[in-house]
Structure 1
């Protein structure tokens, strides 16, 4: 009954359960520098009832993570890490966990890949996309001064009502800049949902309804959760979860990507107003 009522409200009135229009994003709050002491960089990003606190810590090159590769002649050195924590209290539950669950690992990997394109390394010269196209879709990383530090972002979800992984991308981007990591551009993330009428099996006869910045209930009762992260110039990572038996038609995916782009530009503007560029100086507590 709840699923039917949810879908009928959207299909018949084009109004969502929280009163927003289909393309509206929730109220945004963005802050940096909340934590003092030895913290190198911190940021809080709040979108509706979803709230993420991100902390950036810098380390020396020898502290990089070494990952063994069985089919490669040498081990991989990982210099940017993101840890995503989703405690029970953030969605009103009790209980403890002794290790990260599958959801935390997956969401953390998505957020890490979303930001990794903009985090400079010692070897950076050109953005990888320039090698193939001659034009960067994302924007060049800063390459004039090599950035030697190992970078770790800890993202703690303090409240969750949908799209916490994309809120992690936004909080992480601001925390990196606050710590003085020379990101070329901010990275923001948004989730786009879908309600497809159930009266037609032929996609060509249906009028899909797309929802920008979905709530938890819209993820649960809707037909899609399309997470898209990127800069003002292009996409750095995306993930599609779809419940439609036949998958998502390409023309629908194109519409969803455009709606994500429009919302992403709005988010990037808010984030840039909070912290427009990386801090000029590293924290006194950061290693040199």
Structure 2
């Protein structure tokens, strides 16, 4: 096709921060938009060279290595948002930074903003932050939040920091607590939900998660009641595991769906909350605690509720 784009051969010098990273993961992170299957194919064919030699996908990079990346043929990109729209997103995001130093950023992610481009979106949080911090060349998401969920999102500025924080996530020493407004009166005896969850990806690409006692993965969310209202309950959710849509499905399976959840929600409760002015999912990553990879000190960030979330609470009747 005449409108296809062919990238030039690249020669990349490996910096200290990428020491020990596998070549396949190095390429997957850098070659956004190139299918995973294509990257592994050029590795197998020996088109990727390190120091002019063929290497295997599991080769671990060393400082000073030079990586030759072969040319790729790309299809034209989908039409992107106008530049003015992108600039306004970037400018607005600066106001949502809760904590920042030379190694990481904690952001109070707005609801309605995807963490990264894709699925028809060319601009997400990580793209905006890269535009906002052009000198931070290795910005990467440490974890993700659903597009409609707001609150604490952790971003690493260095690969060594990313690796350290991923280890904390695996060891479950990162503590993430969410606030959710749910339908009905939450039973105070329900302090823990452990229904196993199975993720299905529909033909459209939409992800749907269901409780599945046979094929589901072990999942655990701990709950605490923050405030009872006549109309519903404000709960704090602490996900011990990190399954897709975990809190949304765990609340719904107990008969207490989250307000304005368009996938697992209670239509009657959602309509009631919409009549009070709520037009977004009431799920917010309120606090985030972790050990700073550089200083070893505990960092705890608290993300204030946005106006739609705080405003609806004021209209509810406390019990």
Structure with the greater relative contact order (CA < 8 A, sep ≥ 6): 1 or 2? 1
The question of a shared fold, defined as TM-score above 0.5 by the shorter chain, is answered with: no
TM-score by length of 1: 0.29
TM-score by length of 2: 0.27
Structure with higher helix content: 1
